[in-house]
Amino acid sequence: MDIDLAVIGGTGLYRFPGLERVEECAVETRWGAPSDGIVVGWLGTKRVAFLARHGRQHDIAPHEVNYRANLQALHSLGAKRVIGINAVGGIREDMGPRVLVVPDQLIDYTHGRVTSFGEGRGEPVRHIDFSEPYTASLRADLLAAAAAAGIGVVDGGCYGATQGPRLETRAEIARMRRDGCDLVGMTGMPEAALARELELEYACLALVANWAAGCGDEAEISLEEIFAHLEHATARVPALIAALLKP
């Protein structure tokens, strides 16, 4: 089965609207089952696979996602290009709520997650080049698609991946700002590294859901506001993906 593009949906994106002739694939991998059934359908003349990273009921926490199974399942279905949709907090001044960002760098602050397919005795170890964590050509295509669709996105930025599921303290965000992070999220790693190990093209489309702690005017981050901002940002994703798939 050839897949023109795989999309991994984050918080707020549990289904992909507009897909036609849809079928659901239950895929098992040697690493276990992915987060949910993989929905495969047609968007125009292109075949698209969609997987909800947290499950369609949002019942899988960021640190409990089976990232290996997710990437392996998409790979086994024939996907070669993957867009990871990630809900994030904004740190940099131009990355406030409802902004879409295509980051070009990341820093991994997670711990205790399985970060490689080369885990355990007898598994081959691959020392991948991860200098540029996102595929440059896919990033360029994503940016060009946004421009063609008239959707504003910020080009570049550093994604800081934290453990979750709790949000970060003001001190942690201050440290991340000093480290050079522009965004903070909980699911950017090890997803990007595992995609590289499988030689998949991979790019991130980050949807800013809130200001990170201490970066906005709010004394406390409201979950109601987060989901309102996410709904607004997520509404632009299908048109952007459709533009990405145009010949």
Contact 6, 48 (CB under 8 A): yes
* Cα 52 from chain centre: 10
- 115 has binding-site annotation: no
- 54 has binding-site annotation: yes
- 234 has binding-site annotation: no
- 211 has binding-site annotation: yes
- 210 has binding-site annotation: yes
Alpha-carbon Rg for the chain, nearest whole angstrom, is 17
Q: What is the rounded CA–CA span in Å between residue 135 and residue 47?
A: 21
84: nearest Cα among 163, 180, 189, 160: 189
- 186 has binding-site annotation: yes
Q: Residue ranges of the alpha helices (H) in the chain?
A: 67-76, 136-149, 170-179, 191-197, 223-234, 237-245
- 68 has binding-site annotation: no
- 29 has binding-site annotation: no
Residues making up the binding site? 11, 53-54, 186-187, 210-212
Residues making up the binding site for substrate? 186, 210-212
Residues making up the binding site for phosphate? 11, 53-54, 187
